């Protein structure tokens, strides 16, 4: 419920701070006194776009702040979804800066207008003549039916299933499109994959093959150089090893004379050992080296295959070719197995579809059962509101299409006159009739669901006398389970309120300002008497006002 409202520097309001109570709150005032200003300020709290022209003094900041007691509203999930801190006493604030920039806050957390609207719709319902158009909206009509049919938990389950169903259908269409395009590329991908598989590529193989090719391709030259090297080292008189051995023998004799000779001897001996090892290695290489034209051809062929593949796939290593092979392997496998994946997806969709049908059938059954009761209640309430011949025909037609409201099409048909034809609400009901129908629906809904605070803006337009008294009684009954505001010009309705506020204008320092004050019991008598007889309050008007209040 709305517990407090503060407005600063907005339209004709300099500063206003007012607290509200539970029950039925009446707001009265002369035409042009500023009731629309009050509604405009509240609309900003609900997420309406701000307008700098609404600011009273454009050099100062405009602030509108409302406090709501939301402990009984079950709104924690809304706060979680919007990533807001939940507070039982929630404060919503709008600011319009002199620059024209607008800011919004929920419990001091900056929010965008979308979040403000989401929460505002759950806190305050301002009912104006324009809002009666909601009656012709399918979603609102379903909301009314489902509230009475206690379909909330079924609709939550149904819409959870529907969300999964739609996602799977989207996935299925994607897979089918993928299959169609993949089939066109399958042959080419399979060819590329087969080409890479036949190459029998091994990581690091390219460097090994290139080395082997160079050796086999130059075998005669290598043999010649090895043979010459072997001769240089092993020649009987002139060979390196023969001479180094003789050198070693000479220094072996000298090593006993001085450590200098001994050091040189050690170095000669070390070199001789190393040269012996090199000599053995050259002999091994000579033994291993053979001309092999067949192997040379094999190596050359493999290198050509690898180089062709590198060029075709525009890469520079076998490792990259192996990665491409893996990717092609996955693509070919997926394409060849898409039918199985699609079949599995279709099976899951069929199971979900069966559950959706079952849940929507349950919803339909509950709706069908409650519709006669709703029509009787509406017709009964409207009869007391001066529409004794009002008749409803609510048609619920099953379909095969899954929508957020189930598998039903819904039509609210209405006839205001006896023997009249049934037609859509927007075609068959006047503005005043729509207002009374909306009041009847809201009063019924208040018994079945936790409605937000509701503010009726002159819903009594076009009615008077006993009918207005009946409307007031309905609003009084609604106020037992929710906070109800009504802006009215009718004394019969004003007298039914638990609390009464008056909107008025006054001149302060030659500046007209709008004010809102709570009326005392005596002030209330005078206000209702003026509503009955005009500004000049007569004794009979006072007496009549007291009678209405009692």
Measure the CA–CA gap between 2 and 16, rounded to whole angstroms: 15
- What string of H, E and C letters represents the secondary structure of 422-478? CEEHHHHCCHHHHHHHHHHHHHHHCCCCCCCEEEEECCCCCCCHHHHHHHHHHHHHH
Task: Give the residue among 453, 438, 440 at the shortest CA–CA distance from 25.
Answer: 453
pLDDT for 260 beyond 90: no
C-alpha angle 153/159/161, rounded to 5°?
105
Query: In whole numbers, what is the pLDDT of the chain averaged over residues?
Result: 87
pLDDT for 168 beyond 70: yes
CATH code for residues 1-128+447-519: 3.40.50.300
**Mean pLDDT for the stretch of residues 84-100:** 92
pLDDT for 180 beyond 80: no
**pLDDT band at residue 223 under the 50/70/90 scheme:** confident
Residue with the larger pLDDT of the pair 533 and 335 = 533
Contacts with 376 (C-beta within 8 Å, 6 or more apart), sequence order? none
Residue with the larger pLDDT of the pair 395 and 424 = 395
pTM of the entire predicted model? 0.68
pLDDT of residue 523: 94
pLDDT tens track for 432-483: 788 888 889 989 988 888 788 999 988 877 777 788 889 999 999 999 989 9
3-state secondary structure of 530: helix
Measure the CA–CA gap between 490 and 240, rounded to whole angstroms: 131
Measure the CA–CA gap between 490 and 471, rounded to whole angstroms: 11
**Lowest-confidence segment of 95-104, 137-146, 419-428, 490-499 by average pLDDT:** 419-428
Distances (CA, A) of 34 to 179, 409, 479, 514: 66, 43, 25, 6
Contacts with 8 (C-beta within 8 Å, 6 or more apart), sequence order? 14, 15, 16, 61, 62, 63, 64
pLDDT for 218 beyond 80: no
pLDDT tens track for 282-333: 888 777 777 778 878 888 888 888 888 888 888 888 899 889 888 888 877 7
**pLDDT band at residue 234 under the 50/70/90 scheme:** confident
> Sign of torsion, CA 24 27 28 31?
negative
Fill in the DSSP letter of residue 550: -
Residue with the larger pLDDT of the pair 251 and 173 = 173
Residue with the larger pLDDT of the pair 128 and 54 = 54
C-alpha angle 314/316/318, rounded to 5°?
110
pLDDT tens track for 311-325: 888 888 889 988 988
pLDDT for 92 beyond 70: yes
Provide the Cα torsion 189, 191, 197, 203; round to 10°.
-60
pLDDT of residue 392: 93
Residue with the larger pLDDT of the pair 85 and 185 = 85
Q: Is 244 exposed, middle or buried (0-12, 13-18, 19+ CB in 10 A)?
A: middle
Query: Do 439 and 125 meet the contact criterion of CB atoms below 8 Å apart?
Result: no
Task: Give the residue among 531, 542, 442, 518 at the shortest CA–CA distance from 148.
Answer: 442
Maximal CA-CA distance, the chain:
155
Measure the CA–CA gap between 95 and 84, rounded to whole angstroms: 19
The residues spanned by each domain of the chain are 1-128+447-519, 178-337
**Mean pLDDT for the stretch of residues 345-363:** 96
Q: Among the ranges 112-116, 182-186, 537-541, which has the highest mean pLDDT value?
A: 112-116
């Amino acid at each position: 419920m709305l517990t407090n409202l503060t407005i600063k520097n907005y339209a004709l309001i300099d500063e206003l701070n007012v607290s509200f109570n539970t029950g039925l709150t009446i707001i009265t005032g002369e035409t042009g006194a500023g009731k629309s200003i009050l509604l405009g300020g509240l609309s900003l709290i609900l997420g309406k776009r701000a307008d700098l022209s609404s600011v009273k003094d454009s050099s100062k900041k405009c602030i509108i702040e409302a406090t709501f007691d939301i402990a009984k509203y079950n709104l924690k999930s809304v706060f979680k979804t919007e990533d807001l801190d939940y507070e039982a006493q929630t404060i919503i604030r709008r600011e319009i800066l002199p620059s024209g920039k607008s800011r919004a806050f929920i419990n001091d957390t900056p929010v965008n207008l979308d979040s403000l609207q989401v929460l505002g719709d759950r806190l305050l319902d301002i009912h104006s003549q324009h809002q009666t158009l909601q009656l012709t909206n399918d979603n609102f009509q379903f909301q009314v039916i489902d509230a009475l049919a206690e379909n909330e938990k079924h609709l939550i389950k149904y819409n959870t299933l529907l969300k999964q169903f739609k996602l799977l259908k989207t996935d299925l269409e994607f897979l089918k499109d993928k299959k169609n395009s993949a089939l066109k590329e399958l042959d080419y991908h399979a060819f590329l994959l087969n080409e890479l598989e036949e190459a029998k590529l091994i990581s690091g193989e390219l460097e090994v093959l290139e080395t082997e090719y160079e050796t086999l391709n130059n075998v005669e030259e290598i043999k010649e150089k090895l043979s010459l090297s072997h001769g240089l080292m092993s020649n009987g008189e002139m060979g390196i090893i023969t001479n180094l051995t003789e050198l070693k023998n000479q220094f072996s004799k000298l090593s006993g004379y001085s450590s200098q000779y001994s050091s040189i001897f050690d170095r000669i001996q070390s070199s001789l050992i190393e040269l012996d090892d090199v000599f053995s290695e050259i002999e091994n290489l000579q033994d291993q080296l053979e001309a092999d034209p067949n192997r040379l051809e094999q190596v050359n062929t493999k290198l050509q295959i690898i180089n062709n593949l590198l060029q075709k796939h525009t890469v520079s290593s076998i490792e990259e070719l192996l990665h491409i092979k893996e990717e092609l392997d996955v693509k070919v496998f997926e394409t060849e197995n898409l039918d199985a994946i699609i079949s599995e997806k279709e099976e899951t969709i069929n199971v979900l579809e069966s559950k959706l049908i079952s849940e929507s059938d349950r919803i339909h059954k509950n709706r069908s059962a409650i519709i006669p009761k709703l029509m009787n209640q509406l017709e009964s309430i409207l009869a007391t509101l001066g529409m004794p011949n009002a008749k409803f025909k609510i048609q619920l037609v099953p379909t095969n299409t899954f929508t957020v409201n189930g598998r039903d099409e819904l039509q609210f048909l209405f006839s205001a006159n006896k023997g009249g034809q049934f037609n859509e609400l927007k075609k068959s009901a006047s503005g005043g009739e729509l207002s009374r129908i909306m009041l009847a629906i809201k009063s019924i809904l208040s018994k079945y669901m936790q409605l937000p605070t509701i503010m009726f803006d002159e819903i009594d337009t076009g009615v008077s006398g006993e009918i207005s008294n009946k409307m007031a009684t309905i609003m009084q009954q609604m106020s037992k389970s929710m906070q109800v505001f009504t802006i009215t010009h009718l004394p019969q309705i004003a007298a039914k309120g638990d609390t009464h506020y008056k909107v008025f204008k006054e001149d302060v320092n030659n500046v007209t300002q709008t004010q809102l004050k709570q009326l005392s019991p005596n002030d209330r008598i005078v206000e209702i008497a003026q509503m009955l007889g005009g500004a000049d309050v007569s004794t009979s008007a006072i007496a009549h006002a007291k009678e209405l209040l009692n």
